Chains A and B, each alone.
Chain A
């Protein structure tokens, strides 16, 4: 039985009696599902906390760099006094009361609710609002950060600026990248340009919708567990979730640090390849981008493509299955060998993911206290609170072994599954999502059902592998279907080759939604 009040205290959240009741119920259900992790005996397994090719010893020399000015440092604080930040007196702290938050609806800027901020109409690049853009509002899709004007830009934002890209707009998303549908934006849900009654997928919902509708050519996104790939498959766009560590995370608001992968949406694989090559570099500000394996890029010529049998069984939509199998046939006709492979632990990946990600998220969201920037913690939306609560519980004293440690061991098993598979094949071909885009509101009442949408993306994320998501057909109702090409670490070039070949033979990616 969860001591929900104790967890709320650990999480530094003030919850109403109603919320306490709801979260008790929801957490109990989610933990019931997560309990399947204990079915596996992991006594001989080492936990995996990072997928960085066993990289060690990343450090900086003891050199002084320029600091922010006092004015810059204090610029986003609600209260300041003579150069200091001001907090409630720590000794006279009383229990926080639940205050009504000021709820002013944010102005809608386009019919898909994809855009949160217009930057420059001449631009052709959009940024997910998780990417910090200096002097341009950055919200993470969250009310806590509404109005936050960053003091610095993300490394990727700078890299793209230097490469000549002009930023057109900042794009909507599930708040803090928590979500699979785009409906968890604290402002408004993004709509799917192919069918305005359907979700575009999340969490990079605005990025997918902006590229699908032609508003921008390229959009940044992040993929922690499918947040680029899932919306790519729902919107007929191409999405790249790179090898974990390939692109710098510096200045990209953290969700789950050991899984977060910044990446891109574009209309073709060739565009993705170009922008990836412009940005895939070690960054001295992100230790995990300095993997010692980066240089040893794998340049194997693809001969054999594997289909993981676990991804084609229960729960998959018939039309999705068919479309992916057709893609396999196309590759077969091009002379590639197609082999079935097994990833036996993939069934545990959602459970492992929903321990690891909320644990890290609850930690990463601890900094939002409303003192140095943004609003206070009462502004967290329902999904953020749910995940902070879940993560705080899973990492609390007495539960770390059962949850975080066990999930990290399952992660090792999932990595081993892939390693074994890649001994026999070069690339894995798999569906991206079990179904095409679903209706807005369809899954919002049942968080667990929503979480299960990530079933085909979670194993790849846990293993830190690159995955290229590309369109591979449509349903009878003209909804896009997507597939993913998965390689071992640092094999993006191989995936691009294969993806470009596929797009020479097919025209799915060139199709645009009818203007409605």
Chain B
């Protein structure tokens, strides 16, 4: 569907900055989103992600910086002339029009004739599986159906980029999971670039090709879901996505010294000088409690607590009085209840060197 050259990014932000009454909400953002990409802007509320989206849509003027859509500078173009469409968090459906009227609204503004419009509206409603609800008023639809009308209404215009502002936030958990898969499938089918704003890390990881983690107006890290999960580059990124065991120490002879007795080797790490304060992050599921190998960094500890979670068991393991790690173990088929560790058990834990992430 999209014939634009794949070398031109769909969206490019250059030094995008927004200052609201003295506070910098978005601070010099530089970002390129490739054509056809499913891109997530992930961050806590107030991190500037929605403001960024609103600037791309044209509802908010940047204080400085430029916005390019399909290689064209749209920084001062009004929203109705930008080749960008938005799915709003509240859906913002037009209650005075029926579903077909809502979906066909954009084409009508473009002056597309009624025959073509009707055909395209029908195709779009089929795509979102609402073919039989065209004559309904939006107020009579369920939350998930309203969401799909909002999606169809934006997609029908075949924008260079579709902006989605927390589109699933208003749905209940089960529906949200179903819609995640559906949204991803629809995006693959239409091939339009999706720029997706969310505070839900699950959503960002499971749906996107790339994720940008945003905090206090800047992008902390940008990469594939695997990149940002496995190799966080900042303490914020490590803490915001999933859970991490964050330990602070000092850099000393290729190791991070956490206490006089514990030093974690980090062979791959570069750029820190002797004595620098650094942090180490290790994901709880990367830590082993049994079947340790000689390749692992190993350290003895004491089980503090055991919490059974069904698919997993979570242990708190005390290494030194000041250092307690969370360990997540899969409840594999071969494991029986009596195989689980109990509070007070002396254990040895370990993890592979590549799972040691050093953060400066």
Do they bind each other? no
